Amino acid sequence: MIPSWKCSSQKTTGKALEQLSRRALLVSAGALSVGFATESVQAQLPQKEIEPDYTIQNKQIRQSIMGWTYNPMPTADLAKLCKDIGLVAMEGVGREHYPMIRELGLDISLVGSHGFDKGPFNPANHAFVIKSLREAIDVAVQCDCPKVITFTGMREAGISDEQGADNCIAAWKKVIGYAESQGITLCLEHLNSRDSSHPMKGHPGYFGDHVDFCVELIKQVDSPNFKLLFDIYHVAIMDGDVIRRLRQHKDFIAHIHTAGVPGRAELDENQEVNYPAVMRTLLEIGYQGHVAQEFIPTWPDRALALRHAAKVCDV
């Protein structure tokens, strides 16, 4: 007796072969279409061979740069490059350079303060944090900059997350009245705690490492002068869903940073964020603040890397 499973197999062999042939044909066609699609996508991806004299054309995005990323290029040279490309501002450079930057016709888009490691998470840091923020507010007023950065600081043993959040809110509330009186907005930056490959690519142990949580802290401070610094690089690494989060938190966003993900390099085809789409979303939600380039250049021609990033964001 022939086993029933063999009989069934024999009856369906012709049909199975036909299905296999169809499947093979579809797979082959799919492979070809993917190949053509890949070539098409690659043709549209940003290429390094952009115009060596490219300047910003659309001017809908107010582009700036976090100057530390271009060290050791002299700040004066970087400022001239920014002016030539069409960036409108600079930040993340020594305050001693502010007069030179302003003389070139560039703005200061953000004033630094107490740094990301020693923050208000620990009440022992409060006097230092408050003093640093008040001084930064004064500097911002002097250089006609509307924003000062702040951070939560690092988690520390013996302090729970709940207590740390209360500590942060208490410290910011002690200085926010002064910021309001001077017309300055404090911007809380979210940082990723995942990347441990480089001290400026990630910050293991940072308390405010989820953007939604940082927004909750901002709501607790409850001031129109306390907002979010939405760093696309950090948000993409920790939380993802960047475009939806931009729309979700649009009322709290006062400043934007960029960088390629992962690695904090150029905004090119070797990273995963669709920056033109993100920039169009900023226009859609009515964002009018600065977008500061904060990638660490890896291209041999670092000036061209900045021109390229400016073009990617010039939607």
Residue 36 has pLDDT above 70, yes or no: no
Q: Which fold has domain 62-313?
A: TIM Barrel (3.20.20)
pLDDT score recorded for residue 48: 54
To which residue do tokens 């070139």 refer? 104
Residue 202 has pLDDT above 90, yes or no: yes
β-pairing, 253-258 with 62-65? unpaired
Residue 15 has pLDDT above 50, yes or no: no
Residue 63 has pLDDT above 80, yes or no: yes
Structure letter (DSSP) for residue 251: G
Average pLDDT, the chain: 88
Residue 224 has pLDDT above 70, yes or no: yes
Tell me how far apart the alpha carbons of residues 18 and 132 are, in angstroms, rounded to a whole number. 75
Range of lowest pLDDT (9-18, 47-56, 132-141, 293-302) = 9-18
Residue 74 has pLDDT above 70, yes or no: yes
Measured over the CA atoms of residue 298, residue 274, residue 230 and residue 117, the dihedral's sign is negative
β-pairing, 147-150 with 107-110? unpaired
Residue 313 has pLDDT above 90, yes or no: yes
At 188 the three-state DSSP class reads strand
Residue 183 has pLDDT above 50, yes or no: yes
Sheet containing strand 226-231, edge to edge, reads: 62-65, 290-293, 253-258, 226-231, 185-189, 147-150
| Every domain of the chain and the residues it spans | 1-44, 62-313
pLDDT tens digit string along 103-122?
Answer: 999 999 999 999 999 999 99
- Mean pLDDT within 65-78: 98
